[in-house]
Amino acid sequence: MNKILVDIEHLSAGYNRNPVLKDLSLQIRERDFLGITGPNGGGKTTLAKVILGLIKPTAGHIRFADKLLRKHTGYMPQTHRIDTKFPIIVAEVIASGLMAEKHLSSTEKKARVQEILTEMGLEKAADKPIGELSGGQLQRTLLGRAIINRPELLILDEPNSYIDAAFEAHFYQLLQEMNQDTAIVLISHDMDSIHSMTKNVLTIN
């Protein structure tokens, strides 16, 4: 059986003393593909933030197989949470996913960014400000940022919301290829489109 990457026991979390998650237990294992679904406001994004260390649980425990796992976890947030007026171009957004990779030289980082730009079909948009991108292009930019450090765990929050029709098939193929080495947590209010890929599904009400 694959080793446990993240072990969550009786976890509760919320905002300003208002509980959103209550007594949740969950294990994420190597090469897992976990779909998390449920209604808006049910706690799906809150769970992602707890795993990423962005908010602290109010009760329960979360343990990682490797103390560096959280630091190197890839995360793609919902696009509507991104400030598209911020003056940054596509290549810089993608490169920011390598900030923690101190062992890479600048040459290696540039090569990795170019590789991701090509994989995401964003070569011609590399120097474009994010405020000028379509919803699908922004989604691909954020996905590129999330996977550029080749994470052992990848968390995707509503990734199928703005995918271009032309990129959709490649997107799902890419996830399946990544899942051979990477555990994936995919948050979506609609699991129909990716049901065939997920290995486990958690419903948060």
Residues 145 and 155 in one domain: no
Arithmetic mean of pLDDT, 120-147: 94
| Residues sharing a CB contact under 8 Å with residue 164, sequence separation 6 or more, in sequence order | 134, 136, 137, 139, 140
Model pLDDT for residues 110-128, shown as the tens digit of each residue: 999 999 999 999 999 999 9
Residues 92 and 69 in one domain: no
Residues 135 and 200 in one domain: no
The mean of the pLDDT values for the chain is 91
DSSP β-bridge partners for residue 185 = 34, 155
Q: Looking at the predicted structure, is the pLDDT value of residue 197 above 90?
A: no
Model pLDDT for residues 75-115, shown as the tens digit of each residue: 998 877 788 899 999 999 999 999 988 899 999 999 999 99
Model pLDDT for residues 160-196, shown as the tens digit of each residue: 776 777 788 888 888 999 999 999 999 988 777 677 8
Report the Cα 105 to chain-centroid distance in Å: 25
**142 residue type, one letter:** L
**Entry pTM:** 0.91
- The CA distance from 19 to 22, in Å, is 7
Residues 156 and 61 in one domain: yes
Contact indicator for 13, 61 with CB cutoff of 8 Å: no
Range(s) of the domain holding residue 133: 82-150
Beta strands (DSSP E) in the chain are: 4-15, 18-29, 33-37, 59-64, 74-76, 153-157, 183-187, 200-203
The C-alpha R_g of the chain, in whole angstroms, comes to 17
Q: What is the CATH number of the domain that holds 62?
A: 3.40.50.300
Residues 32 and 122 in one domain: no
Residues 5 and 64 in one domain: yes
pLDDT at 64: 95
Residues 5 and 41 in one domain: yes
Q: Read off the pLDDT band of 18 (50, 70, 90).
A: confident
- The CA distance from 140 to 93, in Å, is 11
Residue with tokens 């922004």: 138
